[in-house]
A and B are shown apart, each in its own frame.
Chain A
């Protein structure tokens, strides 16, 4: 099915199942521990062996010698794979990292070897017996030190041009009566999802099946085929359940590649779970950014000049953290200069983490807007409203498909009680707590991409949906089933969604906030085709047929849906493809975040007291799962604002705090009441569902809202995330 004109009325608009707050259909499996995650398939047969990865001990250099003899002889060891035995390995298309070091070591904890043994404990013990002599070479690990020499990034596949020039920024900035020119830093961050990367790999002749944990099955097959040098057709990946990913499991990581190599070497299926201590330096992460924001405004607050320069580093061939993305479309302003600079760093690869670009970009831009509001003497909400734009500021002929931005701001301000904000910084106390309010805008792209599905109508009338979409705990099973239930006119419990199998029709999986919108459109297309088949089978006139209540009705005639499959199961497969609506319209999601914090006036400890997110993201397919997505993002935003940082040791070239004791993410006690409101809207330019994703919108803007609240509480501006007390302790208001 092709979608190239805005949707009119569709069966989805009935909203008998879609749009309803159905709890997650797979929830009982998870609460009873019976959902099978990657490492939990105990029914595969065969004699599963265990793999354990040895990570490189240096940040940059070469393996001068490697001696596995002691490990080879250790109890239970069946195989050891190193670069000398692995055969040639390619590189994936999305990540540039090499999955196995040797002889060059590209970054700390890059895999040097995988040991296969009869038990996990044997494999782990043997890995420590491998002797590796390294020849260390000088690496580059310090973004700040290399910033001055970093060139503009080359053309990149995501995030638009590396340099965007509109109007004459320099002149407008110089002429602006009120200006701001500040630099902000966002540190390296880890996904730190609960389930580690994990794979069970099994070879049946040339056919490789992997039970794994990745977000995009089709990318996984593509990248694994490239790396192993085998045909895509020989690979089947299965990720029915994923214990969190946040982009860290976008596609193939070392666990998948090395499990496959290990299984081939051992001649047995191999289970490999990446140990937590390796996850920080072995896999991808959100790279550090240094961002200079320059804003020029009239005294009425209207922006005339917007400058945003972004520096980040990566392995050779890697991309930038594209923090300038949100600045392209959020605010008006005739003169714009956005640049992304890239330098080579020999740290683990920087790549996608929840709202890549937007999340760190907004941490800078929205703090800058808060600072500008203060210089203007304007309310921060009013400043945002004054800079709303109905059109793409780079292409004034291109309108937004929907833009409920101002409604988000006004709804949020009202619901939060923004008018009760402390008018000047450090002006309100509650006992020993300094109280502050802060807010920030939210924006995140609403991409949508070709997605397919296969729908079966069983003789019983049950509907089965199969797609390679994944569910990271986000609700994919539920919204896929809801879509099919709505389309086929059956109750939700008559639909079964089967996901996460690369043999199913392709989707863009879970990533880039495009999963929900894309897969539901694919399911829509397949269901539309199945409806046609049903109509034909039942001999209805096509135009006025209604699918409802397990029945098919037309012109007074009512037949059960199941009867269409009386003679055998009906199957339809289709995908949704797109025309140029995304070029004609700027398709984005919008929001506003509000925060109240308390800062201990003695110790500087920050506690978030409440957060509110107001989101506009097209039709909300399921308010329960959508809310869960948003509050998850808000929780992640608390971490980004207040604690998350991978500390770089620039001497040795590694992230030092590479475990969950050292890399702190919020715990329950850090997370207060989280309030979420959705603006009631649909976006007919997206798909027949008129829906957009919401998973990344919930994160963008949270951290700067909290940071701005800390400023409002203390009067101390910290532009270096995370906002930890050591950065402002001695500048807190005098103790009285």
Chain B
């Protein structure tokens, strides 16, 4: 771990300014991912701005009947919220499918969106990684890629976004609210929040330096049956090989997003429209143009089968 300086911000504006004005500065909230990465020098911030005193820890109803989730609401509290459980079941299910109880107690809503990939080559500083060290190459391409991405990846990077919560938020059309150092606020649809790697895999999201997430809003409830089907090699405490977040309406229409397959929660609205035709039709559209490796080609049939399971459960 490289030496760094540390401050606790008093308000959001000060926090944003503190990071924006200092190259190498980063926010820290729960720290469940950042600290691990700092210990192995994958992350080497020179300055940490701790945002834990900023509040942002409540869930309130919005004017249009949705929910505004404070950026610092813990994963545990978000999953347990009665309104979330009642109206946004897919979100609760996704959160409790991730990490462990201890981590969820500490991890924040904003931090969960910002967790970095779990590609093993990203974690090993001896290996080439364009995400960790731009221009160094990608050791994962041609290497051990069973866990890695099948779509939305590039010749620079085949990593996936590893989270579960964001996959559910994608299905719910959540919006990420931010403030920057100038006090300007943005509302970023979750669909646009995570970048596709292209030739800049070092940039995970569209956030600008110093731009601070303050909340995530959920539109008003959409009803339907909610599912989060997470497929993994062991029953808990593992990243998804493939996950399916879905909300299915009584008439068979609905929405679906996939986790564990791409740099972002993977949802293709045109594929949603094919839900009444069955899982194969949806995934054929959603994964059109997929570029799996020899190791991870199984994720394509797995996505279809996991969705078929969800559709069958919805009909039951």
Contacts and interface: CB of A to CB of B under 8 A. Distances in A.
Given A128-B2, A656-B120, A667-B235, A647 B302 contact: no
Q: Is the interface of B mostly helix, strand, loop or mixed?
A: loop
Contacts of A125: 1-3
A604 B234 contact: no
Interface centre among B120, B146, B301, B312 (most CB of A within 10 A): B120
Interface in A698-736: 722, 724-726, 729-730, 735
Contacts, number: 96
> Top 9 closest A-B pairs, CB basis?
A602-B309, A669-B235, A726-B298, A57-B126, A669-B236, A656-B144, A647-B144, A602-B305, A643-B233
Interface string A657-680: 111011010111110000000000
A724 B121 CA distance: 22
Contacts of B80: none
A642 B127 contact: no
A670 B235 contact: yes
B128 to A, nearest CB: 10
B173 interface: no
A602 B308 contact: yes
A121 interface: yes
Nearest to B310: A602
A493 interface: no
A604 B241 CA distance: 12
A649 B140 CA distance: 10
A652 B234 contact: no
A735 B310 CA distance: 13
Nearest to A124: B1
Interface in B176-230: 229
- What is the interface of chain A mostly: helix, strand, loop, or mixed? loop
A667 B301 CA distance: 27
Q: How large is the interface on B (under 10, 10 to 19, 20 to 34, 35 or more residues)?
A: 35 or more
A600 interface: yes
Contacts of B233: 642-643, 664, 722, 724-725
A382 interface: no
Contacts of A729: 298, 301-302, 305
A651 interface: yes
Contacts of A58: 126
Contacts of A667: 234-237
A725 B146 contact: no
B285 interface: no
Given A647-B144, A667-B235, 7 more contacts: A124-B1, A277-B124, A642-B234, A649-B144, A670-B234, A670-B236, A725-B302
A724 B236 CA distance: 15
A436 B103 CA distance: 35
A659 B119 CA distance: 12
B41 interface: yes
B136 to A, nearest CB: 13
Nearest to A722: B233
Nearest to A58: B126
B309 A600 contact: yes
A647 B305 contact: no
A658 B235 CA distance: 20
A374 interface: no
A720 B164 CA distance: 30
B144 A664 contact: no
A124 B124 CA distance: 15
Interface residues of A, number: 40
Nearest to A726: B298
B56 interface: no
A605 interface: yes
Given A607-B235, A724-B233, A730 B301 contact: yes
A668 B231 contact: no
A558 interface: no
Given A602-B305, A652-B127, A277 B234 contact: no
B238 to A, nearest CB: 6
Given A57-B126, A125-B1, A125-B3, A651 B305 contact: no
A460 interface: no
A620 to B, nearest CB: 31
A649 B236 contact: no
A603 interface: yes
A568 B279 CA distance: 83
Contacts of A600: 309
Interface in A609-657: 642-643, 647-649, 651-652, 656-657
A662 B120 contact: yes
Contact of A661 (B39, B118, B229, B241): B118
A489 B244 CA distance: 64
B59 interface: no
A50 to B, nearest CB: 13
B231 A605 contact: yes
Contacts of B308: 602, 735
11 contacts: A58-B126, A602-B305, A603-B229, A647-B144, A657-B144, A659-B123, A667-B237, A670-B234, A725-B231, A726-B298, A726-B302
B121 A656 contact: yes
B142 interface: yes
Contact of A651 (B41, B142, B238, B309): B142
B171 to A, nearest CB: 19
A168 interface: no
Nearest to B233: A643
A218 B129 CA distance: 45
A432 interface: yes
Contacts of B124: 277, 656, 658
A488 to B, nearest CB: 46
A403 B223 CA distance: 64
Interface in A243-282: 277
Contact of A669 (B120, B146, B234): B234
B153 interface: no
